[in-house]
Every structure is written in C-alpha cells, then in structure tokens.
Structure 1
Amino acid sequence: MHQVERALFDIRRGLPVLLRDADEAVLVHPLESVDEAAFERLAESAEMPTPALVLSRHRLARLGHRIDADSARLALPPALWHDTRRLHALAFGLEPEATDAEPLAASRAEQAALALMRRALLIPAALTRRLDGEARTAIEARIAEGALLGVAAEDAERCLESADGMLRRVSEARIPLAEASESRFILFREPDGLREHVAIVIGDSETWQRDVPLRLHSACLTGDLFASLRCDCGEQLRNAVAEIAALGGGVLLYLAQEGRGIGLANKLRAYALQDEGLDTLDADQVLGFGEDERRYGVAVDMLAALGVQRVQLLTNNPVKIAALAEGGIEVAGRQALYGRLTEQNYRYLHAKAHRAGHLLDDVLDGHSGSERA
C-alpha cells in the first residue's frame, strides 16, 4: 500500500496519478484542484481520448441521473474541457448544471479514483482520461522517470479500509479533565499518517464496570472547540466525559471523522449549502457524499488494543451499535446522550432523527439530559 499512500499525498497536492487495472490505464486528476495547468497536464498528448468527469451516484442523482453503481462517468464535450466554473458546478454546485452527457459505466480504475478522493478528504469527483497506445507509453515513461505516480486500481480501491488492523499506538499521557480528573490520552495513528485518533481512558480500568461505558465521538472542530450552535457535538462530548466518570470510568474514543467522515473543508462547504436551504444530509449528497461516510473499524481496533470487549455504549446512533457488534465487540446496553435543543441545531437534529434513524425522540420532544434508554 506504500504507493497508494504516496498517491494520496499527490492527489491532495492537486497532482494527477495513473490508475492501472489489467489492460486499462486511466490518468486521474482531482476535480477540486482543476485549473488551466491541470488541463495542460491532462492534454499533453494529442493521442489522448476525450476527458471524462467521474462522479458518485449521490451527485449524479442530484443531476437527475439514477444509477445502480456507486459511480459513473460523463464524457465531456469540448466546450467544457477548460471551463472550470461549469465543471465545478457539475461536480458540487447547488443548482444542477445542464449537460447533455449521459452517465456511462465507470471502469474499476475510475471507481478507484473516487475512493482515493474520499480517502484524501477531497470532493468525490475526478477528471479522467483513459490511455492507450502512444499516449500510455508516454505517461508510463514519465512514471519511470519519477515525474508521475502509477498505482494499481485494486490497491486504490482498498484505501478506505487501509487502517483496519494496522493502527499504531504512538504516545500517551495523563491529562486531567474538568469532568474527569483521572484521565489518560492514548494516541493512535493510521498507517498512511493522514488521521490520528485518541482514546481517552477515564478512571482505573481495574475498577471499571463489566460493561465498560463507552462513547464513540467523531471530531467536530466547530462544536467541540468553538461551541458552535449548529450542532450539539460539544455538549455531547462534555456530557459523555462527565457521565463516564460518574459511572466509575470507561473509554471515550475521539475519532478523526469530522463532518460524518467528509473532513472539515467539505463540512464547511456543506454548511454553506445548508444556508441555502438544504438539510445536513442533502447538503452532503450535493457534494457527492453518502449520508454517512464514517467507518468504525479503527474504533474496534482501538478497543482491542485497550482490552475492551464488552461495553455499554453512550449513543443515539444505531449504526454505531451495529458496527461494533460486527467487529466483535459485545454491546450489552445503550445509554442515550443528548445536548441542548436550540433554534440553530433543530433542523440538524430533526434530519438525523427522521432521515438517518438517530434515536432523538426525547430531545426533539423538548427533553434533554442523559436519561438511560
């Protein structure tokens, strides 16, 4: 996977990479950073075929195209080749951009391209060119010279799961907290170095309950640090620490999954779309993401490293219960965990409850607190 890790850094820097699958080779450029220089790089050989735009099924649905696959490609007419404004509108504009192009089946390499974009926390949209003949020979020569990077599509496809079973325990220290003075922070790093997660171990594990109180908390810079009123994340975080301490100690996993896994840049883009009238789930889908991009394999690995096998989970999200159970963690019980209902976060919580299945009836009915479910 070393080549994939290098490819992720190139993608984040706005550089193209070549994805290979059997006899196919596809030059991929992240749409987020497409500019005139990018078009020049993609058009260096006249032998290259027409460029295409690869989009997720979520974004294509917003454009009026329903597909069965996770992604598809749109062949771009010459009028769009250098029109970055219209390309960006096609990929993640609020209003659908008119195009006569019909979705075509994405190849394995093109599907893998969107996996790379997601892993790199970029908009899941890529400008691509399928290469053969002299065009491929020229690009392979550049790869041999070290000017470009080539990656197997199969490896790129797996990049979203690359951390499972490969977390590294890096460092730890005692960090007294206002709500839990006996706390230890343990940092885990994913193998590609892009994400770090923290296990906050509260109290003495020797005296914990058999069903260890556990909170899986996705990082939220705006809510956790700046007390944003658009969500209840900061209050949930502090309430979770206090509740775990009151229960005799346990674990809070602080996971690098900002914006339900889409990253801070895309979360801010989604907020801007919400200001135009969309709810939190629709805004993510306009950008090409699913309802929830988070994966919890890293949480299972962190619990294994801590020797935790049976938990009482502080959550309102049934998906977390299912994910832990699938990973071999016994969820003996669930405890509700709320923040305050406010004018600013009502739409957000309502969408989570009524569209994503979060168990928030009590708080939406005007109740709050940490009542047990």
Structure 2
Amino acid sequence: MYEYLTLNYTQQQQKDLIEQWYQHLDEVFTQTPKEYFVQHHENDPSRQQNVIFIATDLSTKKIVSTVKLFTREMFINGDKCKVAGIGEVSTKPEHRGQGLSSKLLEMAHQYLTNNGYMLSFLFSNKYSAMYHSKGWSYVHRDITVEDVNEKIVPESDGHSLLLERMDTIDSTTLESYFQILVEQKPIDQQQGSIVRSIQYWKEWIIHNVEPHSKGTIGWVAKDSSTNTIVGHIITSLYGENSDTMAVKDLGSIHNKTQQNTCIKTLIKLTIRQYQTCLLNNQSIKYVQYPSPLLITSVLGGEQTHKLDKSMMVRLCASNNNSVPSSSTTCESLFPLDSVIYWDIDKL
C-alpha cells in the first residue's frame, strides 16, 4: 500500500524529509552524484513555487517514487506564459510496474491545470514512448550541424571582441550584463524560450557552467575599445572524439542589425579557444546550434540538419490569450522553424 503526498515549499524545508528525497534520488539515479540533485533543487530560482509529488511505502514509511515540478515562464506567441518543467521522475526498482509514476504524473498535471498553468514540458529519449502514452506530445527542435572547414579559426576576423571565461569575471560586472539582457532580451524572445529574471541568471545559469558544472563552459565577449561585455556563449563538447562543439546558450546586447555578426564572431572565437588553449590543437570538426538562431552559416562550411526529439509538451489550460482555442495542438504552438529552447535551461 502506498500514500501519495504533495510537498509545497514549506514542507520541503523539513530537513529529514528533503534529505530522504535526496537519498531516494541518489539510489535511483546511480550514475548521477547526489550533490547534483542538491544543487539542482537549492539553486533553482523558482524553488518557492516548485512542488514535489511523492509516493511512500506505508509499511516502511520510505519514499519509493517521485515527480518534481519546476515552475517557469516561457515565451509563447510573444507572451510570457506560466509553464512547468517535469523532472526527477523516479521509482525504486522493486516498486516499478505498479503505476506509481503514472499516478504522480497525473497528480502533477491536475495540479498545473487547477492552478492556471498553460503547459508542462519535459525531456526524455529512453522513456519518450511512455510519456507519449500519458498525454505528452513530441516537440521537435531543428539543430544545425556545420562543418568546421578550417583546422584553426583565424584569430583576427575584422572584429574587436575579446573572449574571456565567465568564471573569471567578477560577479558585479556579470550581473550588470545580465541586467541588460533581462531588460533588452534581444534573442531570447523566441518561441519556446524560457523567460529569465536576474535571479535566474545568477542562480540557475551560473550554477550550470564551470566550475559548478564540469564540461560546460561559459564565455563572455568584451568590446576591446570599452572593455564592456557585449555578448556571451555557453558551450560543451560531445561526440565519440569530443569533436563537436554544442552551443547551449548565446546572447548579445547588440541591436538586430549587428546581432548576426556578433553571434558568428562569438562562435568562431570559442572554437579557436578550444582548439588553441583547451584541446592542444585537437581539431573541432563540427559546431551545432539551434537552426532558428541564424539564417546563414557561421563558417561557410557544409551544413546538415538534425531533429532533436527529446522535448515533449502537454497542454494544461487553454484560458491564456496565447492559445487560440481548445483545439490548439502542441505541434502548432512550437513550429519547427521558430523554436529555440536552449540546452542550458534543461531540467
């Protein structure tokens, strides 16, 4: 027999209970260190609105299954809409096959519907068929993969930008730049992108790059004439030989006419940093970024497109002006040619 509970922020402050939840996640996700979940929870800027659903075994009083809601705002049709990400879906092996996750997922969906959320979203590859059967729809993201057609990207490309690692910049300077991004949002108002407050930048973004998150590097671009930050890029390497640079986030405070040039320069400079400083001249063969970001190539290399099929969405309420009618589908809300959900925002 099981008991199902909904934990609000006040209940999450109970030290014994939250520690038991951390321990549960550590036991289920054996390849992920417990500290990851602690940081994931405590550095979430929306933690006071986040909700955790748990199932406990009545015989042992132990947590055996959980689902967590991460509350967010998302740009949909130009409006800021109340949404929630789903994460920490976990059931202990000996309690699987009894519908515990399904029950908790439905509790979460009902909670969101009752509280005026527009939709929920999640990311999954291995269990996407299960989520699809429970009501979540696939939202494909178009990713451009471009060949890096030069072994070393030229140091000088007619620009005046200097690239520095984000973790070497003092917090006051970074916060001033983040504040400009929050006020201007030059790139981020793309369909499906997360609305970022200054608190979100300081807590979520910063804690998802080095030194807090190994392998994901944040960079800032400074104007060499003024020494002010004018853009940033967050990247990581992946692939069998770590030869693909993935752009996980990118921003610029330039106006639209200058934005494309700045974006391309940021990507080029970052490739050069990897190849000359971080990889001992090992070659970066490919760079990938969301296709709606640019309409022309970065390096002039051959381009291919791939579909990222890991994102899934389920509508909760249709009383928002951004949703035309109850017949609106997730696919129509997130057209392939305009969706940018940055990987740095993944739950």
TM class by shorter chain equals under 0.3
Q: TM-score, normalised by structure 1?
A: 0.26
Looking at CA atoms only, which structure, 1 or 2, has the larger radius of gyration? 1
Greater helix proportion: 1
What is the TM-score of this pair, normalised by structure 2?
A: 0.27
